[in-house]
Amino acid sequence: MVELVVAEIMSKVADNRAYILILQEKGGMRKILVALGFPEAQAIAFEKRGVLTERPLTHDLFGQLASAFDIELQHIFINRIEDGTFCSQLRYKQGDEVRMIDSRTSDAVAIALRAGAPIYIDNDLLNRMCVHDEHNGAMSIPITAADERTLLSVMENAIKEENYELAQALKNELDTRHAARLSELNDTKENEE
């Protein structure tokens, strides 16, 4: 496992309704991008800047509730990516009992910051999903990090520009995702029968 730290929050669109959280390898250069909504971006930014609110935000409330029942957040673990979205688990301990709870990564980071808990990611996942700094502030991301709509759009442009190698790589990624979903559906149907 590799520890990550919050590096930056950037606005993704002109009207500031969507944000990108940049998590960077602690003491290293590798970074991942995590999509955020406004509430999560605000919660993370407030905690990073030490902004106090008159009433607790949702993530504050979650931490207060855990504390009231002597539940300790040990760490969060970014464990997989599904259709371009990072998924995480929160590792909680209460007495001798340890539980892993699934969470959106954006919520997990907001909660971890409040608890002072570390953020971890599997080294192989970080290697596959890390962004590469490019010129003029642009970043390139692996195709496995993009959602399907983005992949389809980029694939159409690649075909128009006759970049068939890129178009094929994008098609392969989409086919892999569809095959995985089909397999999950078949497994679900078999379990129901």
Q: Would you kindly state where each structural domain of the chain is located, as residue ranges? A: 2-131, 146-192
Residue closest to 32 by CA, chosen among 100, 92, 111, 119 = 119
The reported pLDDT for the residue numbered 2 is: 95
The reported pLDDT for the residue numbered 133 is: 58
The reported pLDDT for the residue numbered 143 is: 61
This prediction's pTM: 0.69
The reported pLDDT for the residue numbered 193 is: 66
Residue closest to 32 by CA, chosen among 133, 102, 115, 107 = 133
The reported pLDDT for the residue numbered 171 is: 80
Which residues pair with residue 18 across a beta bridge?
37
Q: Which amino acid is at 117?
A: A
Alpha-carbon distance of 193 to 186, in angstroms, equals: 11
Alpha-carbon distance of 96 to 2, in angstroms, equals: 25
Strands 18-25 and 31-37: antiparallel
pLDDT in tens, 40-63: 888 899 988 888 888 888 888 888
List, for the chain, all residue ranges whose pLDDT scores fall below the cut of 70. 12-17, 132-147, 180, 184, 189, 193
The reported pLDDT for the residue numbered 107 is: 93
Is 2-131 in CATH node 3.40.190.10? no
Alpha carbon separation from 113 to 26, 109, 133, 181 (Å, rounded)? 15, 6, 25, 33
The reported pLDDT for the residue numbered 140 is: 53
